[in-house]
Every structure is written in C-alpha cells, then in structure tokens.
Amino acid sequence: MPRVLVLGTIHASGLARLRERPELEIIVLEERDEAGIDAALPTADAVLVRTAPLPAARLARAPRLRVIAKHGVGVDNIDLAEASRRRIPVAITANANATAVAEFAFAQMLNLAKELRALDEAVRAGDWAARHRLAALELAQKTLLVIGFGRIGSRLARRAIAFEMKVLAFDPFIPAETIRAAGCAPVEDLDVALGEADVVSLHCPLTDKTRGLLNAARLARLKPTAILINTARGGIVEETALAEALRARRLAAAALDVFACEPLPASHPLLGVPGLVLSPHMAGITQESAQRMALEAAANLLAGLDGRLDPALVVNPEVLA
C-alpha cells in the first residue's frame, strides 16, 4: 500500500481528494514534529509539504520517495538539487495563491500609504488631533517598482495601474516586450530604479542570486519617503539593514510577511521598529486559495504517483524525461 505523508495542516478538501484513493495510506503530521517526520519518511512514497524543511539529509531517509507536492510555489524549503539527483519530481501549485498574494501586497501598500494602523491607534487613545499630524499619501501618480514579474508581480501591476500608478518591472527572465505589453516599463538597472520608486514590492524567489538582494547599499538608494513590501521570501531583504534604515528614518515604512527565520524570534531586531507592519507568512492564505492549494497539491501528488505529472507544474521537469 503506497504511503503518503502530509506535512502540515491543509484544507479538508485536499485530504478528501487523497482519501478518494482507498489504496493509499494517508499520514498527517505537524510541521514541527521533526521526530515523527523522520520516523515516517523511510516508508513514504509521496510527500505533500507546506513549509517543513526537506534538506538532503532528510530526503536521504526516504528511499521510496517518488514525488514531492509543494503546497504553494516557493521551494526553498526543499533541497531541489538532491531531489533532482534522485529523479524525484517537485510539483507546485502554480496559480493557486497568486491572486491572494497580489491582493495582500496591494492592501499593505494602501495600509502604509494611508497610515491606517496609526490612525486606529490614535482614535483608540483619544488622540483626535492625530488627524492634523499624520499625512496620508495618494498612490495615484506614484511609481511602483515590482521586482519579479511572474504570476504574482504581474497581477499586482494590473491593480496598481488601475490606481493610476506608474509601474516599473525588474525581472531578468521576462522579455521586455511582455512587460511593455502589460502597460509597465521594463527595468535593466535595478539600482537606478530603486532611486525612482515610491513603492517597492518583492515577488521573486529566494535563490543564491536573490539572497540579500536588498542589502544596506541598495536600501540606501531608496527615497526616505519610500515604502517597501516583501511578500516573497525572507532572506531577500537584509533584515538588520532594514531595521536600521527605518529607525534612522531613511525609509518611510515597510511591510514584511516573510522572514529569514520563521517564526520570528522574540529578540529579533525588527520587533519594535517604527513604521513596520508584520504578518506571519500568510499573504497567500485566503479561504479560497487555501482550498485551491490543497486540491492542486493533492492532484499533483496523485499525478506523480500515477506517472502523469504535467511538466509545466514541475520545477525540475528534467527528471520526467
């Protein structure tokens, strides 16, 4: 009987899809149950994973593993090189949460531009005079720099254009003609574009090339009135440098949904920093997207076991050859 491991909580519809196959044994484990995961891997034929780490050492414990189905699109928690060496396809839910993340990033742009949290706190504190001190911004006619113009970045761009924003897009993997056709201006020099942007939103994967992409030097290129949004991956922004920039008022505000270490440690330098809004890596989680991700991940896992995976949904499609 093939054994399927589900690492983390997923929407009930995804589990129901898996349980439609009576020949499968389904085992659901909490993401932090490291001992339980390690004990179950040696007999696992397939894994559906959210954010639990699957490094090479852990994959080595799973000699029967035939497919990894990611609940989402980021695969930085999976040793892709090792999976590819073992010829284990890693499938993603390519479009399931793109709208959710784009909407969340845009909501944070509005939140920070309009200073909504500060206004709420002022009213609750009886500080009606805050209306004379706080100065909200209009997004219309402002410049948005989208770093990463894939499924999410392009959706964010459409929403920004609807708000009459000018959109710059930096993505070395997307043709300039595609970016122009979307009503945006392609960017070749990221450093120059950072100095032009009123809002910067990150939508690129975490790779060796993007780790530390926004370091202290690049953060210093931003306008002191600029807003930074990161709903992509922790590690793309140097967090200590960001905290220093916000404290020194060299940057107006930022919103982070992702962090280099999750959950965020109580001693983290970002905590207590002014002008910063934090959320627990949930930009892509809505009632609708949670169901879509669970169903698509379950479908990918079953397709992997059946040998009928769509190469377009596999991040290492060469293993299917």
Please check whether residues 294 and 271 belong to one and the same domain: no
Asked whether the predicted pLDDT for residue 239 surpasses 90, the reply is yes
The whole-chain average pLDDT of the chain stands at: 96
The token pair at 217 is: 């030097």
Q: Give the count of domains, the chain.
A: 2
pLDDT greater than 90 at residue 15: yes
| Burial readout 112-149 (b: 16 or more C-beta within 10 A, e: otherwise) | bbebeebeeebeeeeeeebeeeeeebebeebbbbbbbb
CATH code of residue 302: 3.40.50.720
Which of 220, 176, 168, 170 is closest to 190 using CA atoms? 170
Provide, for the chain, the percentages of residues in helix, strand and coil under a 3-state DSSP scheme, each rounded to the nearest 5: 40, 15, 45
Q: Can you tell me the mean pLDDT for 2-8? A: 97
What value does the mean pLDDT take over residues 165-181? 98
* pLDDT tens digits, 241-295: 999 999 999 999 999 999 999 999 999 999 989 999 999 999 999 999 999 999 9
150 — pLDDT class (breaks 50, 70, 90) = very high
pLDDT (tens digit per residue) in 108-134? 999 999 999 999 999 999 999 999 988
Q: Are residues 191 and 316 in the same domain?
A: no
Question: How many Å apart are CA 177 and CA 160, to the nearest integer?
Answer: 19
pLDDT value of position 66: 97
138 assigned to active site: no
Out of 17, 218, 233, 292, pick the active-site residue.
Answer: 233
Whether 155 and 175 share a structural domain:
yes
Q: Does 33 lie in the same domain as 15?
A: yes
| Local structure of residue 220 (DSSP, 8 states) | T
User: Rounded to two decimals, what is the model's pTM?
Assistant: 0.88
235 and 175, same structural domain?
Answer: yes
| Sheet order of strands, 199-202 included | 185-186, 166-170, 143-147, 199-202, 227-230, 253-256, 276-278
103 pLDDT higher than 90 = yes
One-letter amino acid of 294: A
With a cut of 90, say whether residue 81 has pLDDT above it.
yes
What contacts 100, CB < 8 A, 6 or more positions away? 283, 284, 285, 286, 288, 289
pLDDT digits (tens, 9 = 90+) for 64-75: 999 999 999 889
Task: Give the model's pLDDT for residue 10.
Answer: 96
pLDDT of residue 321: 84
Distance CA 7, CA 1 (A): 19
Residue 194 CB: number of other CB atoms within 10 A? 23
Longest dimension (CA), the chain: 68
pLDDT in tens, 134-148: 889 999 999 999 999
Domain residue limits at 298: 3-95+287-320
Domain match, 39 and 143 both? no
Write down the catalytic residue from 11, 281, 292, 296: 281
261 and 123 co-located in one domain: yes
Task: Let me know if 281 is a catalytic residue.
Answer: yes
Return the number of other C-beta atoms located less than 10 Å from residue 165's C-beta.
Answer: 21
Question: Quick check: is 71 catalytic?
Answer: no
Do 117 and 37 share a structural domain? Answer: no
Asked whether residue 114 falls in the same domain as residue 130, the answer is yes
73 and 136 fall within a common domain = no
Residue count of the chain:
321
- 257 and 140 assigned to the same domain: yes
**Same domain, yes or no: 111 and 215:** yes
H-state helical runs in the chain: 12-19, 34-40, 56-59, 80-85, 98-113, 116-124, 130-133, 151-162, 176-181, 190-196, 216-219, 239-247, 287-306
DSSP state of 236: S
Of 90, 84, 95, 40, the C-alpha closest to 62 is 40
* Number of Cβ within a 10 Å radius of residue 191: 10
DSSP tag of 72: S
Which residue in 30, 138, 164, 262 is the catalytic one? 262
Report the DSSP pairing between strands 25-29 and 3-7. parallel
pLDDT at 95: 87
